[in-house]
Structure formats: C-alpha cells, structure tokens
Structure 1
C-alpha cells in the first residue's frame, strides 16, 4: 500500500531518500486521481526494490503542492537525489508511466 505523507514528512521521506521516489499528488474529489491510484499501487509493488512511492493529498498538504507548482491533479513526480527529474500530469496508462519512471531507476 502506498503511504500518504504530510508536509512535515516530505523532506525526510522524499528529498533525503537514497532511492528514487515517485510522489502522487492527488485529492479525494478528483476522478482521474482515483483512476490512477490502482496503477500507482501496482507500480509500487512491482518496483518496490528500486523505488519508493508516496502520496500527498493536495488539499491537506497545500504548502507542498504550492512549492512544487501543482496546478492540475493527478500529478506524479519522480524525485532523484532530492530533485524533480520527471513530471507526469493527468491520467496515463501503466505502460506509459512505467517507461517514464524506469528511465530514472
């Protein structure tokens, strides 16, 4: 299961991670977010040995969303060594997401 994190956990969980991290910025009311959630769960399971995966609720953690200019959701960001290396906006099929994520692993 993908863990939801708070703004307070973001630095240690995402920015200080030794492994790449996929962050799913989402909201409860967002239909496309609910569509991509099972895909993100599958990716988390399949790449568990190489990738951390977390979720940030943009309504609850608006400071993090603002810091990374999250204007549309779902937005998936891949962080590597504390830096954003890939941004994916909107729903995308699993093969497309995997291709964009795996190139950073």
Structure 2
C-alpha cells in the first residue's frame, strides 16, 4: 500500500474512493488557491502517518466538477473522509495539523 497522495479525477473516483477497502481522505484543491498550498504538507503528513489504514487522494476542483458537486464542495481547500458510500467527516478551509490528526484519530480508531 502506497503511503503517498494519489491524484485522481472524476472518472477514477468510484474505483479509487468508493470501492476502496479502507477509509479515504479526499483533498479538494485548486492550483490558484493560496491556502491550498498551506494544506499540502499537512495532507502529506496524514498520508505518511496513517498510510497503513487510510488512503489519501487529491482532486483538483476545476477539471472535476462532478465530484465537486456531489460532495458539495463550496470552497477550497476542502476535505471529505469517506468510507464506501458513507461520508464520515467534512471540512472546508485551512485546518491545522493537530485538528486534522484529531479528526482522523476519531474516525479511524472507531472502525
């Protein structure tokens, strides 16, 4: 299992996220988004720290409108923690390392 962040598109979303065997942290971002640049190291840390029990993917919002609309992403950066078809957690805006790790601990330790 890779411990990195996988970049995916609308076309890959079902296979990479909905059919994944473990929870998936979906990071919605945009190249023009300054705050997204602040989140990237935190997302990479989550992928490294939780790689054994969590998959982390990035979805660029502009070229992937279907997924953005389905998960009601209204601003970036945005995170969705998904397991199967179930949305476990959702955030929008920059969150710090501690808040992200706490959110992941809460959901991953309850499974």
TM-score (norm 2): 0.91
1:60 Cα deviation (Å)? 1.0
1:50 maps to: 53
Q: For residues 25 and 92 of structure 1, what CA distance do their matches in structure 2 show?
A: 13
The CA distance in 1 between the partners of 2:105 and 2:73, in whole Å, is 22
Q: Following the alignment from structure 1 to structure 2, what is the Cα–Cα distance between the partners of residues 20 and 74?
A: 19
Where in structure 1 are there 5+ consecutive unaligned residues? Answer: none
Which residue number in structure 1 is paired with residue 91 of structure 2? 88
CA distance in 1, matches of 2:106, 2:93: 19
Gaps of 5+ in 2: none
The Cα RMSD (Å) is 0.9
Report how far residue 82 of structure 1 moved: 2.2
Instruction: Please say if residues 17 and 82 of structure 1, whose CA atoms lie closer than 8 Å, have aligned partners that are also in contact.
Output: no
Q: How many angstroms apart in 1 are the aligned matches of 2:20 and 2:106? A: 18
For residue 72 of structure 1, what is the aligned residue in structure 2? Answer: 75
| CA–CA separation in structure 2 for the residues paired with 1:102 and 1:56 | 23
Query: So what's the TM-score if we normalise by structure 1?
Result: 0.96
Matches of 1:14 and 1:104, distance apart in 2: 16
**Residues 7-86 of structure 1 correspond to what in structure 2 (within 5 A)?**
7-86=10-89
